[in-house]
Amino acid sequence: MDIHMGFWKKLRKPFLVLAPLDDVTDAAFRRIIVKYGRPDVVWTEFVSADGLMHPEGRKAILPKLWFDESERPIVAQLFSAFPEKMRGAAKLVAELGFDGIDINMGCPDKAINKQGAGAACIRDFGLAQDLIRSAKAGIHDAGKDIPVSVKTRLGFDTDILEEWLPALLEAGPAVITLHARTRKEMSDVPAHWDRVARAVEIAAGSGTLIIGNGDVRDLAHARVLAAETGADGVMLGRAIFGNPWLFAEDGEDVPMTERLRVMVEHTRLYEELFTGVKSFDLMRKHYHAYAHGFPGAKELRIRLMDCRDARSVEETVAEFLGRHA
């Protein structure tokens, strides 16, 4: 099968990529991340293909697809249980200039699964294949030639990698990212990285690349896991919270003052991009992560929870540093 690889074939292995995290890896945080510790590839938050195909829904959802040229290569992640919606959304995304499209077949959220999307795709091999082929068709409709990838899990209730992965490979995705747990396991058990190694064996000779995902602490850990499993790449997710230096080779032990300075910069950018579009309250999870691991951090976090704009965050940080720096 002829698989269009696009930018993927140009990356040095093992490549280290940023996971799509809903309401976390938005345009503001991604720009901060690529400034202070560029991953090899970034993903958008996951986006409803169905919503993109609805006139009112599209207007509300498009901010999730804002990106800056500094973020390339950037992949837009879509989810749906309807191939025709996936085709239309893939056409739109390709026209927006993304470097690739990823289909979410791993989200464990009950509401998403009830739609037949996310991890529920694992229960319908035929639908999963149709979604991949429809995304490719939508890209063709747009007159573009960008790669399609899939992010998934080992199974829904049980590990069915031996059947599930070959079914995906039949549809010819450029890349499959494997979160090494089942949907039932959520993130409640350690990731099964031995199954990533098995996925590499199953995919050998197919032309499809395998990215491993789950419990990756830092770059050093990622490289060890890649070496042990033979994965072409490793995806890091939760470790990015409060740590835009995660992908920087010298990103360890960032001083408190620098951490808080970048937190303020992140807040300003968020406010600049999303005032009137997204709630400022979404920044709170970032404050919990930035303000951590130094004397007085708990006190600062409590005060940051009361902030409602970038100016109040900046003033709170300045007052804190005046007493603790």
Q: Give the active site residues.
A: 107
Crossing angle of helices 310-324 and 297-304, in 10° steps, is 160
Pairing of strands 100-105, 74-79: parallel
Sign of the dihedral defined by the CA atoms of residues 114, 117, 122, 128, in that order = positive
Residue 45's nearest CA partner among 86, 77, 91, 81 is 77
A 10 A CB-CB count for 75 gives 27
- Give the Cβ contact number of residue 20 at 10 Å: 24
Q: How far apart are CA 52 and CA 33, in angstroms?
A: 26
CA 136, CA 158: separation in Å to the nearest integer?
29
Report in angstroms the alpha-carbon separations of 31 from 34, 167, 229. Answer: 5, 36, 31
Measured CA to CA, the distance from residue 242 to residue 38 in angstroms comes to 15
Separation CA 305–CA 300 (nearest Å): 9
